[in-house]
Chain A
Amino acid sequence: MTQATADQAKGSVLAADGTPLKVSLRRALRAQKLRALMLIAPLLAFIIVAFLMPIADMLFRSVENQIVPDTLPKTVVALEDWDAKGDALPGEPVFAALHDDLVVAAEAKTHTRLGSRLNYEDSGMSSLLRAAGRGVRKMSADEPYEAQFIDMDKDWGDIETWRTIKLYSGAYTDGYLLNAIDMQKTVDGPELKPASQRIYVMLFLRTMLLSLTITFFTLLLGYPIAYLLAILPLRTSNLIMILVLLPFWTSLLVRTASWKVLLQQQGVINDLLVWVGLISDANRLVMINNATGTIIAMTHILLPFMILPLYSVMKTIPPSYLRAAKSLGANDWTAFWRVYFPQSVPGVGAGAILVFILSIGYYITPELVGGTSGIFISNRIAYHISISLNWGLAAALATMLLIVVLALYWVYDRMVGIDNVKLG
């Protein structure tokens, strides 16, 4: 009895070349999968390099604190036994270790870098370390280093300086992340910052709230337009489509700047209202450099992102359904609300999530028209990236934003169901 007939006897089907069909099919499928993978490989590689790796890098940066143990290796070890909660300064061995470390650091010119790092936590560390880099070279090994350091700058005798170094002596720190939610590291554990310095939690909340408002207004304005686009004859709807797409072809900055011209107190809208007599010259409306300005400008800018998914879903709703509803006795409103609207919900879901996610990350428009009450958390992230150079804090803020967005996405999935979202 041959192998083939044996297989046949067991009930498995054979392909033409005698191998069991299962094996042959698996082989063919594997080849197909491999080909598919090859086709998407460039995109996959691009996403890994340009999207996933930067996110991983950002997550890493929000806890990374290598610079302190790298620059002050001996001091960090010597500080291990010191009780930061007590009132006593660390002893002479710590000062001696600090001297050794700083001599090396000053040679490599890394002491100023460490100063910038620690200055984010304690003002004055920057100049303290810059001066120390110059001072350590002149110190004598015969006298106690503690006195020489304090003689150079009295801040070396301030216990807060040492607490800062001790708190941030690890290669990894939760300091940035705590900072991103308005807390700070202290010797007694994490604490809320003083009220005069709390800002980030409020900005996170405001970013969410304003983004929701913007999403709501884009839906309110976008729904009727998408509906018109879907039901009007092609010639008319094409014209409207061009009007919808036109802003896409105009620079973001130009659109934002035009809103300034329109909305400012001496601007077109106020001039018009005064001329009509609706408001007096002394009581011109403040519509820009505040949250109102951000909402108006961003609603306009993000409107196409709501209209297009809505339109592509509405286009697939057969008009005969509405006619059928009406012929069965429904009035216009019932026919729309009970028959048409439920079918357009996937488009609403897609548009809403698109606009919401986009507006959360916006920063140019809020920066230009938001004044003080209309700026977002992303403006602070941009500030820490490009002005204060506190990339650790910027990464921590971005991490928090990512967590919030993922949490919202999860809630959204629970409420609307992500399978219910359609782009067409």
Chain B
Amino acid sequence: MKTRHLFGATALALLPAAAMMAQDTATCENCANTMTVVSWGGAYQNSQVKAYIEPYKALHPELTVVMDESSAESVAKMRAMAEAGNVTWDVVDTLASDAIRMCDEGLVMEFDDIDAVLAPAPDGTPASEDFGDLLINDCFVPQIVYSTTFGYRTDVADWGGKVPSTVCDVFDLETFPGKRALQKRPIDNMEWALYCDGVAKEDIYDVLGTDEGVERAFNKLNGIKDQVVWWTAGAETPQLLADGEVVIGSTFNGRLFSAIVEQNQPIAMLWDMQDFDLDGWTIPADLPEDRLNRVLDFLYFATDTQRLADQAQYISYGPARSSSAPLVGFSDVLGVDMAPHMPTDPANATNSHLYDYGWWADHRDDLDAKFQAWLTQ
């Protein structure tokens, strides 16, 4: 009796363990055992390692993951590798605009049916609906929504207690004197300039498509040109703000989040007219079958609802699935409630702007030449 009882107890105790064992590892048929993941390095890549790669490796102990930090030059490197006929990358994290370029160039794989590749939401909604409009083309699996927006110093004496409340305050040197940091490229700056020159949001790209519109945007920017420090790396603005070199500056919202929340700098967010952009995964074209199987298996796992929400534990970028949003909450890792820091939070997104990928794909080369010429004048 006693032994039976004991045996029963052991069996009962073992059962969940056995069930867990079964879940602990997963199989992947005909999959390569190494995978090279390319991303941006820094805090962002770290959040991907924690939220996607470590859990995936726990399920697949046989896998070796090689991390590469070349996303900033991904398009050029992908083209060089394709020309040399030796693509060593398996999955590449890129900006949406770069994904469009690579898709056009035939450097990355096109998905015939995205629902066959990605997991449905927990309630069964197919991925194509869950991601919705963020699936900007057939090559790109969106991961996060980030925004380029402004941060300002909260201790500027010259401002007499006023704080900027709209993006147009950036152009107002009377009320808010001091240097500004803007990105050294036409994208975002031209849109903000036209918006603050009185162009309605929905007309911005129509106006910018004309020579007069470009002139108008430059004229508006001329008003602050000699007060602008132009940045090229996203880390520059938080540094410039922290040093007091500039009083207001644009950068990616996650960079400002770390400066404000993790480093306690006297900086506040200006979310008005934040410019939404996407970052996500692409797969190089024509991978060998076993490597492709591995990447597809990884992508299915890494872009499901829970995993996208997990990433927001580590960094303040919004998950690209609508089903992930309700799962974003208090971050045990950072010790703060993440929701109010997300660009997609309703309170932050009252007045926002969506980057028009198609328009910029057409006009970027032309406007960039004009922008560079304007900068040197």
A residues with a Cβ closer than 8 A to B are 109-110, 112-113, 115-116, 119-120, 123-127, 130, 196-199, 202-203, 264-267, 289, 367, 371-373, 380, 385-391
Contacts and interface: CB of A to CB of B under 8 A. Distances in A.
B243 A264 contact: yes
A126 B101 CA distance: 10
B362 A389 contact: no
Nearest to A120: B365
Contacts of B105: 112-113, 116, 389
A345 B104 CA distance: 56
A344 to B, nearest CB: 39
Interface in B358-377: 358, 361-366, 368-370, 372-376
B309 to A, nearest CB: 32
Q: How large is the interface on B (under 10, 10 to 19, 20 to 34, 35 or more residues)?
A: 20 to 34
Contacts of B75: 386-387, 389
Interface in B33-90: 72-73, 75-76, 79
A385 B374 CA distance: 21
Given A264-B245, A388-B365, A389-B79, A196 B232 contact: no
A199 B79 contact: no
B101 A116 contact: yes
A327 to B, nearest CB: 57
Interface in B332-377: 358, 361-366, 368-370, 372-376
A241 B35 CA distance: 47
A199 B363 CA distance: 18
A389 B110 CA distance: 20
A126 B184 CA distance: 24
Contact of B362 (A124, A264, A372, A386): A124
A183 to B, nearest CB: 13
B373 A371 contact: no
B229 interface: yes
Contact of B373 (A109, A126, A198, A391): A198
Interface string B10-48: 000000000000000000000000000000000000000
Contacts of B373: 196-199
27 contacts: A109-B106, A113-B106, A115-B104, A116-B101, A120-B365, A123-B366, A124-B362, A124-B363, A125-B362, A126-B104, A126-B361, A127-B358, A130-B104, A196-B373, A197-B369, A197-B373, A199-B376, A202-B376, A266-B244, A266-B245, A289-B230, A372-B375, A373-B376, A385-B76, A386-B73, A386-B76, A389-B105
B96 interface: no
Contacts of B145: none
Contact of B370 (A112, A120, A196, A391): A196
Contacts of B106: 109-110, 112-113
B134 interface: no
Nearest to A128: B362
A371 B232 CA distance: 10
B365 A123 contact: yes
Interface of B: 72-73, 75-76, 79, 101, 103-106, 110, 179, 184, 229-230, 232, 243-245, 358, 361-366, 368-370, 372-376
Contacts of B229: 289, 371
A387 B365 CA distance: 10
A119 to B, nearest CB: 6
Contacts of B366: 123
B365 A199 contact: no
Contact of A113 (B104, B244, B361): B104
Contacts of A113: 104-106
Given A197-B370, A371-B229, 8 more contacts: A116-B105, A123-B365, A124-B362, A266-B244, A386-B72, A386-B75, A388-B365, A389-B101
B76 A199 contact: no
Contact of A389 (B76, B179, B243): B76
Nearest to B232: A367
Contacts of A389: 75-76, 79, 101, 105
The 9 closest A-B pairs by CB, nearest first: A112-B104, A123-B366, A386-B76, A372-B375, A199-B373, A266-B244, A386-B73, A124-B362, A127-B362
A391 B76 CA distance: 9
A232 to B, nearest CB: 40
A180 to B, nearest CB: 12
Given A113-B104, A113-B105, A126-B104, A372 B76 contact: no
A365 B278 CA distance: 30
B232 to A, nearest CB: 6
Nearest to A131: B358
Given A123-B363, A126-B362, A196-B373, A372 B245 contact: no
Contact of B361 (A120, A127, A372, A391): A127
Nearest to A380: B372
Nearest to B364: A388
Contacts of A390: 365
A185 to B, nearest CB: 15
A112 B105 CA distance: 6
Contacts of A115: 104
A68 to B, nearest CB: 15
A203 B376 CA distance: 9
Given A367-B232, A371-B229, A119 B365 contact: yes
A371 B182 CA distance: 11
Scoring B106, B110, B363, B369 by chain A CB atoms within 10 A of each residue's CB, the highest score goes to: B369
A380 B75 CA distance: 17
Contacts of B374: 196
Nearest to A114: B104
B332 to A, nearest CB: 34
Contacts of B103: 112
